[in-house]
């Protein structure tokens, strides 16, 4: 299968600063992806380059086998057939909801145009608001209008630049699910930019984690969580702590919690210092376990407690325990490690203070 | 203790009334001291006056019959050489003949009066239409220049900056002289055309800056949204950016247009009979210097305040859709 969207080794710079460096990834047709990263990591710039608003200094962007961007050449945004939902929505304040949605359909015949407008307003549940102006509807409704407007001309790909960031958390995930469903139904691919991993998990099948302009990993949410490719991804996705250890024989890693089987990073010799990623759900509470730790902090999460534990060595650990295991700070509790895939990174000297 | 006491307003209104009254008294005393004699009654005739049209006998003959009919009288003249009686209508109080009077051809029988527009009204009209036409042309020039000012093309941008700086850095009076005496002579322009041209170029430069600011005030996202929906840069400008920008710059544009009405008084220096020039001409014949200048000022004030009311209303109407 040839990839639908293909981003190959691109650099984007606002001289003298390089904002995106050597990013490559591929997406299949009608696939839904997400670029995830902290603010300032270059994810929005990357998205804008795909939309055609930023030129690339190096590399290529292809869509459906057609070149969109190369150094010193950028196909104008209006010729890319890529829709975009903006962070500030950018609805046209002087046009009604219906005219906003119809805006991208200027070349269509009137009958087809209005049929499409009503079809989309029905999809997003706003047909009765067609004659309102954007300032006369709520934030969530504006979001839907922006979606309908972007989808109306049947783009090949929809780019979403943190469009949910102005909404409250509950509405955010609902809308992410809803838009995902609409995209799947319309058979349009989507690429979301977000700094919120739960939004990313709710929306996308494939997620790319960016930091400081580099794409660290392009993978499924499951793999990002369980098989992070590097220290930053492991730290950024989900919670967890890095426990220092040392490589033993074969695939054994020796830690203060005992020897654990894991896949050693390439080029690791026995005796090398390593760190082991321990997620809160890898640590279970077991009163009968000989391994003891002191409760330092606890956070009630409803169904469970998130305990911060201190080991005898002083290292910290997070533990997720069912909420009927109610322990106070200062208590010593028994714990057990239940790690399916052990994530081991080579420990650089001086990286000890992380986590 | 209440944080905000209802403030007492009336003493301040009283003070305002006193100050205004003081100014009026001062003015009155000042004119008394120079022994100025106010002749306000002379002013209205310069707005409208009754012109008398003398009705002359078309033929020599005798007045045969005078048939009074209210304010008008019908006068029949029997021609001396025979033939059909000729009849004339004149206003009764202007009648100069009696029945039986002989008249020669061209003798005045009486007059018909009719209202004519006086020089002040005419001058006001000239001021209004010159301002309107130059404002319209200036808006067009400003729009084009404002767009050029934002163009990525350095030649267009440079030209726009050059024009704006040139106009904003020189006095309008000098521009009018240059336009009339230099450009007007070279291109053989009528004085009205030269006056309108100078005003339009002047207002165009200021309008360009207003429009540029308006365009720049529209969020970049609006342009990007339109582009990603398949519009070219030019379509985006006409359908998305300009409609919003023009709405936003309506108040400063209105201010500019109101200024233009006042600035148009300067075209009187190239002998265009606008309101100011009319005022000056009337003073030479009426000697009512104070009255005429006050009247001229009041007329400008009436026009500009009516216009600002209209634009205020327009602005509120437009504001409904944002």
Q: Which of A53, A88, A153 sits opposite B229 (nearest CB)?
A: A153
Whether B206 is in a domain gets the answer: yes
Residue found by looking up tokens 């039986």 in the block: B100
Could you tell me if B190 and B107 lie in one domain? no
Q: Which of B219, B232, B322 sits opposite A78 (nearest CB)?
A: B232
Report the side by side order of strands in the sheet with A292-300.
Answer: A283-285, A332-337, A292-300, A304-310, A316-322
Residue A268 predicted with pLDDT over 80: no
Find which of A55, A79, A90 to mutate to test the B interface (most B CBs within 10 Å of its CB).
Answer: A90
- pLDDT at position A302 is 82
Q: Which ipTM was obtained for this model?
A: 0.81
Q: Which of B116, B139, B163 is the last residue of a domain?
A: B116
Whether B91 is in a domain gets the answer: yes
Distance CA A277, CA B18 (A): 84
Could you tell me if B132 and B147 lie in one domain? yes
Could you tell me if B104 and B219 lie in one domain? no
Average pLDDT (B153-175) is: 96
Of the ranges A266-275, B140-149, B268-277, which one carries the lowest mean pLDDT score?
A266-275
Q: Which of B270, B289, B307 is the last residue of a domain?
A: B270
* Nearest-CA distance B144 → chain A (Å): 22
Cβ of A77 within 8 Å of Cβ of B228? The answer is: yes
Could you tell me if B88 and B125 lie in one domain? no
Share above pLDDT 70 across residues of chain A, in percent, rounded to a whole number: 97
Residues in B touching A191 (Cβ below 8 Å): none
Whether B177 is in a domain gets the answer: yes
Could you tell me if B65 and B95 lie in one domain? yes
> How many domains would you assign to chain B?
2
CATH number for B107 = 2.40.50.100
Could you tell me if B173 and B264 lie in one domain? yes
Residue B222 predicted with pLDDT over 90: yes
CB A309 within 8 A of CB A350: no
- pLDDT at position A218 is 94
Average pLDDT (B304-316) is: 89
Q: pTM of the predicted model, to two decimals?
A: 0.78
Whether B236 is in a domain gets the answer: yes
Residue A12 predicted with pLDDT over 90: yes
Distance CA A327, CA A245 (A): 28
Out of A250-259, A262-271, B42-51, B262-271, the most confident range is B262-271
Average pLDDT, chain B: 91
Cβ of B225 within 8 Å of Cβ of A86? The answer is: yes
Could you tell me if B93 and B127 lie in one domain? no
Could you tell me if B82 and B157 lie in one domain? no
Distance CA B322, CA B316 (A): 11
CB A184 within 8 A of CB A30: yes
Residues in A touching B322 (Cβ below 8 Å): 93-94, 133, 135
Average pLDDT, chain A: 87
Q: Which of B224, B233, B239 sits opposite A90 (nearest CB)?
A: B224
* Nearest-CA distance A92 → chain B (Å): 7
Query: Domain range spanning residue B161?
Result: 120-270
Give the pLDDT confidence of A202-257 residue by residue, as tens digits.
899 999 999 999 999 999 999 998 888 888 999 899 888 888 888 887 778 888 88
The length of chain B in residues reads 322
Whether B265 is in a domain gets the answer: yes
- pLDDT at position B314 is 84
CATH number for B233 = 1.10.3720.10
Cβ of B224 within 8 Å of Cβ of A51? The answer is: yes
Could you tell me if B139 and B239 lie in one domain? yes
Q: Which of B222, B227, B322 sits opposite A135 (nearest CB)?
A: B322
- pLDDT at position A1 is 54
* Nearest-CA distance A104 → chain B (Å): 5
Residues in B touching A87 (Cβ below 8 Å): 221
Q: Which of A51, A104, A133 sits opposite B230 (nearest CB)?
A: A104
Whether B129 is in a domain gets the answer: yes
A89 → chain B, closest CA residue: B221
Using the CB atoms, write b or e for B56-80: b if 16+ within 10 Å. Answer: ebebebebeebeeeeeebebbbebe
Q: Which of B222, B228, B322 sits opposite A82 (nearest CB)?
A: B228
Whether B285 is in a domain gets the answer: no
Q: Which of B270, B293, B309 is the last residue of a domain?
A: B270
Could you tell me if B151 and B210 lie in one domain? yes
Could you tell me if B126 and B264 lie in one domain? yes
Task: Name B59's Cβ contacts closer than 8 Å, sequence gap at least 6.
Answer: B77, B79, B80, B81, B86, B105
Residues in A touching B221 (Cβ below 8 Å): 86-90
Of the ranges A179-183, A332-336, B165-169, which one carries the lowest mean pLDDT score?
A332-336
A158 to each of A175, B221, B314, how far by Cα in Å?
Answer: 15, 16, 39
Cβ of B229 within 8 Å of Cβ of A150? The answer is: yes
Give the pLDDT confidence of A162-206 residue by residue, as tens digits.
888 877 877 888 888 889 999 999 899 999 999 988 889 989 999
Q: Is the CA virtual torsion A234, A240, A242, A243 positive or negative? A: negative
Could you tell me if B231 and B196 lie in one domain? yes
Whether B67 is in a domain gets the answer: yes
């Amino acid at each position: 299968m040839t990839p639908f969207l293909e981003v190959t080794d691109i650099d984007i710079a606002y001289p003298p600063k390089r904002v995106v460096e050597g990013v490559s990834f591929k997406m299949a047709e009608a696939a839904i992806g997400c670029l995830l990263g902290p603010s300032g990591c270059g994810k929005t710039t990357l998205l804008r380059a795909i939309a055609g608003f930023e030129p690339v200094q190096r590399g290529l962007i292809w869509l459906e086998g057609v070149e969109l961007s190369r150094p010193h050449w950028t196909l104008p945004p209006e010729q890319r057939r890529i829709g975009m939902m903006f962070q500030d929505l950018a609805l046209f304040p002087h046009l009604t909801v219906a005219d906003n949605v119809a805006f991208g359909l200027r070349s269509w015949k009137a009958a087809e145009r209005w049929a499409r407008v009503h079809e989309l307003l029905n999809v997003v549940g706003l047909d009765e608001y067609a004659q309102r102006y954007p300032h006369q509807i709520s934030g969530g409704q504006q979001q839907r209008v922006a979606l309908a407007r972007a989808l109306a001309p049947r783009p090949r790909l929809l780019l979403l630049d943190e469009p949910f960031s102005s909404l409250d958390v509950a509405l955010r995930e609902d809308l992410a699910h809803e838009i995902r469903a609409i995209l799947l139904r319309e058979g349009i691919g989507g690429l979301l930019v977000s700094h919120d991993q739960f939004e990313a998990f709710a929306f996308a099948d494939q997620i790319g984690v960016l930091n400081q302009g580099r794409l660290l990993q392009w993978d499924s949410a499951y793999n990002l969580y369980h098989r992070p490719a590097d220290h930053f991804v492991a730290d950024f996705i989900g919670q967890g702590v890095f426990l220092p250890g040392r490589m033993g024989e074969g695939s054994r890693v020796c830690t203060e919690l005992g020897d654990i089987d894991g896949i050693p990073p390439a080029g690791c010799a026995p005796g090398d210092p390593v760190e082991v990623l321990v997620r809160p759900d890898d640590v279970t509470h077991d009163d009968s376990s000989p391994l003891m730790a002191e409760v330092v902090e606890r956070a009630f999460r409803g169904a469970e407690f998130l305990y911060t534990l201190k080991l005898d060595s002083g290292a910290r650990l997070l533990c997720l325990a069912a909420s009927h295991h109610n322990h106070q700070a200062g208590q010593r509790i028994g714990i057990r490690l239940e790690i399916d895939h052990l994530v081991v990174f080579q420990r650089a000297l001086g990286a000890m203070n992380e986590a | 203790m209440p944080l905000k006491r209802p403030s007492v307003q009336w003493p301040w209104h009283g003070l305002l009334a006193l100050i205004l009254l003081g100014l009026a008294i001062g003015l009155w005393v000042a004119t008394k001291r120079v022994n100025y004699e106010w002749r306000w009654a002379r002013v209205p005739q310069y707005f409208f006056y009754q012109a008398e049209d003398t009705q002359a006998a078309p033929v020599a003959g005798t007045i045969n019959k005078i048939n009074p009919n209210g304010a008008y009288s019908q006068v029949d003249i029997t021609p001396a050489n025979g033939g059909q009686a000729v009849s004339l209508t004149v206003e009764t109080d202007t009648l100069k003949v009696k029945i039986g009077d002989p008249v020669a051809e061209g003798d005045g029988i009486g007059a018909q009066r009719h209202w004519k527009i006086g020089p002040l009204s005419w001058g006001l009209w000239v001021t209004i239409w010159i301002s309107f036409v130059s404002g319209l042309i200036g808006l067009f020039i400003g729009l084009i220049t404002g767009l050029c000012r934002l163009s990525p093309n350095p030649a267009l941008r440079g030209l726009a900056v050059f024009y704006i700086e040139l106009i904003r850095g020189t006095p309008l009076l000098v521009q009018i002289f240059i336009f009339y005496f230099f450009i007007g002579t070279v291109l053989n322009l009528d004085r009205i055309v030269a006056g309108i041209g100078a005003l339009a170029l002047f207002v165009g430069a200021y309008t360009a800056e207003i429009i540029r600011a308006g365009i720049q005030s529209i969020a970049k996202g609006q342009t990007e949204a339109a582009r990603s929906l398949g519009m070219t840069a030019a379509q985006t400008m006409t359908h998305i950016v300009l409609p919003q920008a023009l709405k936003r710059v309506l108040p400063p544009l209105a201010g500019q247009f109101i200024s233009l009405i006042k600035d148009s008084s300067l075209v009187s220096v190239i002998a265009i009979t606008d309101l100011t020039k009319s005022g000056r001409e009337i003073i030479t014949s009426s000697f009512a210097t104070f009255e005429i200048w006050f009247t001229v000022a009041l007329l400008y004030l009436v026009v500009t305040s009516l216009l600002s009311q209209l634009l205020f209303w327009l602005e509120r109407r437009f504001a409904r859709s944002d």
